[in-house]
Every structure is written in structure tokens, then in C-alpha cells.
Chain A
């Protein structure tokens, strides 16, 4: 396959990773890219905000140059893609407008070719099966929210390669790379685009809502195919965190970065080390897939159960039976498991630790030795309290400490009576 290539301004600048990874993606999939000669800026949103004819003529010059080659055009930037598709649509459906545009650019242009976006190219032109064949290092364990934003899917009459409300093309590609994708409500919600610059009071909130929704849906990273979405979600993530006093620290990837890395490239080859939110560590240390036939174990209340739960642990060293190693197990289990399973494992390990070594565990929760002693006395033999503390300590140590203090205070009151 051979395509005319329109990198657009941001792929040489703020979206440099998108440029690098698109070229790598093309090379991996055997697509030849021929850069449009002496291309110019598409005018972006500023163009259509200012002058309708200008906003059609600027893309038309590029498309007319590409038309001479007879090739379809690849425009990875969602904004350029949208402007190109809008221009093609206008030229195809309005003869008078077409003549006016040809007049302005002093070139013939009949919109005989088609502009493609990256998701359209990958999912529909290359095809999911071919991508699967190329994967060398599947992204197993990754949980991604595929973020399409506005310009790739709207308006349908201009873009038309995917659903406007619940698009799937990027999800299919990311799944073909071995990752899991989450269903979420903000797939096609707007990131605020240039409002982050011109009206940060409005734009920052829009960025925050997208990040929050992705995390609430269980995503551990976001995948995009738009340099502006990347800029807002990655570069401005810190500002959104600051404004809304919430930490996300959620890496954002271009879909082409994921493809290149899954097909064997190192993250730095495609620029993943240049993100603002650290993105290399997550992709290099993806959590292992949960064990296929694991039956979820409820927090145990009897003393036999913890032992059974411990028997299902992953690593052999986990069978060591002092509380110290029992505490280390969960730490390694977190990265090695699906989150729910990992927490369950932690809980089981802590139940065991509390039952075996109540003194030691009590000392970990309460500093005051006298109160810690009281706690150890209370929990010895009280499986309910142990289960409660184990559950809390597995997710939030502070909460566990608070609960432990409450147990002790209650006990002291009883004793004083």
C-alpha cells in the first residue's frame, strides 16, 4: 500500500511522538508514505473560525498537490484530517464552491481521492488480522480507555468510518495488540481543544472530566489519535490535577506508539519517553494477566481459610510463613494480578499474618506499645476483626490504623467501666 502523507504542523512539533510512531507503524505494516510536497498548514480551527473560504482553500492546496499523485492521503492529526474531509465534502457536493476554491488555489481539484485517519487505516484498510500477525510483544495486562474525541468521528457525513457515539475502530486495534479496552462514556467527549489556552477556566474542567471518567471506568492508560487531545490530557494533566485536587498520573499514548511497541520497537524509538506524564514504566512493566481459573476467595473468617488462600499464591517463596514475608507477598502480587484478585490475595496474606503474629501486626498499626498490646489481645481469636483490619490494610493503611485505634478505644472504655 502506498499513501500520500500529510504530517501537519504538530507532528514536527508538539506531537513529535505521533510523527515518529506513525512512520514506524507504516514501516512495520509495509505501507509506503510519500510526503506531500511543500505542504502547508490546514488552517485548523482558527481558519474556520475566521473565514469559511480560507478554511477550505488552505487544505485544498495540499489535497490538489496530492491528487496529482493519484494516492489517497494519510492525515494522522485529527484536526487536519477533519479539515481535509470537510474540504473534500464541500468540493464534491458544491460545484460553485469547487470552482471558487480552484480559482483561489490556482490548481485543479476534484476531490477524487480520499483522506484517511490512522484508526480508519489500521482497522479498516490494513485490517485487524494483519495487525495481529505483526505483534511480537503483546500488551497483555494493559487496561486502556480509547479516546476518540471530536474530530475523528464528527460530523458523520464528513468522516463516516466509525460510530459517532460509541466508536470501535481504535478499541479493535488496541485489543489486537493484546490489551484490554474499557467501555466508557467519554469516548467522544471534547477535551476542550484550544480552550485550554484561551479559556483555561473552561478548558481545564473539560480535561479533568475526561481523565476522571477514564479512571472511573477502570482504565490505567488513555489511547488517542489526536495531537491536541494528547497535549491537553498529557501536558496539561498536572494543571487539571492541581485545579481539582485529584491525582491521576495516568499515561496517555498515541495508538501508533502502542502498535510500534507491541511489534517490537523500544518506547524511546517512538518518543514515548518524551511525554509529560511518565509513560514508559507502565508499558514496560504491564501487570500480568490474572490466572485463568482462579476462583475468587472471600475474606476468610475461620482460621482454615487463610491457609487455603495462601496455598493458591503465585510464587513459591510466598509459602514462607512469617509475617514479614506475608507482608511482602501482596506488594509483588499487586503488579502480578488483576487489581481485584491482587487485593484479594493481599487480604488473605494479611489475615494469615494477623492470625499468626497478632503482636507484630498490631505494632505495625499502632505506635504506642501499650495500645498495640491491647489491640493484639482484642484481635487474637476474633476472626471478624482480623478480616476487617486485613481488608483495610490491603487497600489503605491509614484507614486500617484508624479502625485499629477505634477497636482499642472501645476496648479501653469497656475495661474502665
Chain B
């Protein structure tokens, strides 16, 4: 921010992408009149490059590439304070979700750690049907090269009986694998 930006009308591709994002999110960006209430209440805005209001503004101006490449969408904790306070009823949190998913599809993730965590989480669910917390942390730490992250919490958690050594497997693992496969199939619709 702070640098001047030359605006040109959005291309048809960009326009199509923006309306797809709106449809996914079930909301309309043109309702937003930039009052900033979303940003005022956002508990993570302090760490964002474009706070929520500006993410919407980027989309209004057709700057969808900037929105997809923003760090903000990966800092957003999905707390939904913005959506619940918006006087115009814009579902900003849902829009953030849609942008995240689009960034994943386009392989344009700015925060590899969050994406690595999500991937590790879901791969456990796909395999066992449930979250495997110990395996999740191991896989996440390995994927991000932070081998000792939270290691000081591992043993105390184990001693308190708060982490299982082995994954809990459900009987319907095949059904879960099918759900994953079919959701992916239809995801590109």
C-alpha cells in the first residue's frame, strides 16, 4: 500500500472470476459502501496487508489478482465478526473463504504454513475419518520444516492424556474417501 496504482477497466476474465467468487460466497461486493466497520472490528487486522474493507475495495475495482495474492486472506481467522457487523449485509468472511479457495486452485497461496496445516489436517481425515492430532502436528512440522515447533507442549499433553499415540479409525473409511473424491469431482463445476 501507499504506492500509486494505475487502474484500467477489469478484463472480462477478471469480471467473470469476481462474479464467480461472489456466487461462491453468496454475497455481493457492490453492497459495500466502504464504511470500515468490518476492519474496525477485525481482531487480526493489525497483521494484514489489506484489511477487510480494502480487500472488498480491491474486488470492487477489479483488482482480483491483488486480492488473491494478499496475505490477509490467510491471516483471517474466520471469526465472522465482519459479516455479523456489516450494516450492508456483505458476508465478508464467506468472501475471504472463497478467495482462499480460489488462491489454492490457482496455486497462489501467500501463506504456505496455513495451507500446509489445512492439507495435513484433511489428509488425516481422509485416511482415518477422524483427526489424528499427533500425526497432524508431525506432518505439519515436517512439511513446514519446523521440526521442534510446539515440542515443549507434546510431552505435557501426552502426560495429561490429551493426545493419542495411534489414530482413531472409523469403520466407514471408504465412505469418507468417496466423499473426498466426489467433492473434488464437483469442485471444478
Chain A residues at the B interface, C-beta cutoff of 8 Å: 9-10, 12-16, 38-41, 43-54, 57-58, 61, 100, 103-106, 149-150, 154-156, 164, 188-190, 192-195, 197-199, 201-202, 205-206, 209, 235, 274, 276
Contact = CB atoms under 8 A, between A and B. Distances in A.
A157 B153 CA distance: 37
Contacts of B43: 189-190, 192, 206, 209
Contacts of A193: 77-79
A316 to B, nearest CB: 43
Interface of B: 24, 43-44, 46-47, 75, 77-81, 83-84, 91, 93, 97-98, 100-101, 104, 111, 113-114, 117-119, 121-122, 125, 129-131, 133, 140, 149-150, 153, 156-157, 160-164, 168, 170-172, 175-176, 178-180, 182-184, 186-187
14 contacts: A16-B160, A44-B121, A49-B104, A51-B183, A57-B182, A106-B175, A190-B43, A193-B77, A195-B77, A197-B149, A199-B114, A201-B47, A202-B47, A209-B43
Contacts of A50: 101, 104, 118-119, 122
B52 to A, nearest CB: 13
B164 to A, nearest CB: 6
B81 A150 contact: yes
Contacts of B149: 197
Nearest to B96: A49
A190 B170 contact: no
B83 A57 contact: no
Given A50-B118, A192-B43, 4 more contacts: A39-B170, A46-B119, A58-B179, A155-B91
A58 B125 contact: yes
Contact of A104 (B80, B121, B160, B183): B183
Contact of A276 (B24, B150, B156): B156
Contacts of B101: 49-52
Contact of B162 (A43, A106, A199, A274): A274
Given A40-B129, A43-B122, A155-B80, A202 B75 contact: yes
B80 to A, nearest CB: 4
Contacts of B113: 198-199
Contact of A40 (B125, B161, B184): B125
B150 A41 contact: no
B130 to A, nearest CB: 5
Nearest to B149: A197
Chain B residues touching A, majority SS: helix
Given A13-B164, A58-B125, A206-B44, A49 B172 contact: no
Contacts of A154: 79-81, 83-84
A156 B80 CA distance: 10
A54 B118 CA distance: 13
Nearest to B161: A16
Contacts of A198: 111, 113-114, 117
A16 B163 CA distance: 9
Nearest to B44: A202
Residue of B150, B160, B171, B172 with most partner-chain A CB within 10 A: B160
Given A46-B117, A52-B24, A155-B84, A192 B44 contact: yes
Contacts of A44: 121, 131
A189 B100 CA distance: 22
Contacts of B180: 54
Contacts of A47: 122, 125
Residue of B80, B104, B153 with most partner-chain A CB within 10 A: B80
The 9 residue pairs across chains A and B that have the minimum distance between CB atoms: A190-B79, A9-B131, A54-B183, A46-B118, A46-B121, A150-B79, A154-B80, A274-B160, A202-B47
B97 to A, nearest CB: 6
Contacts of B130: 9, 40-41
A197 B97 contact: no
Nearest to B116: A198
Contacts of B78: 45, 48-49, 150, 193
B125 A41 contact: yes
A278 to B, nearest CB: 12
Contacts of B104: 49-50
A327 B47 CA distance: 49
A61 B121 contact: no
Contacts of A61: 172, 175-176, 179
A9 B133 contact: yes
Contacts of B186: 53, 100, 104
Contacts of A51: 101, 183-184, 187
Contacts of A49: 78, 97, 100-101, 104, 114, 118
A104 B176 CA distance: 10
Contact of A190 (B81, B184, B187): B81
Nearest to A236: B153
Contacts of B75: 195, 199, 202
B122 A197 contact: no
A192 B75 CA distance: 9
B117 A197 contact: yes
A270 B134 CA distance: 23
Contacts of A45: 78, 118
Contacts of B118: 45-46, 49-50
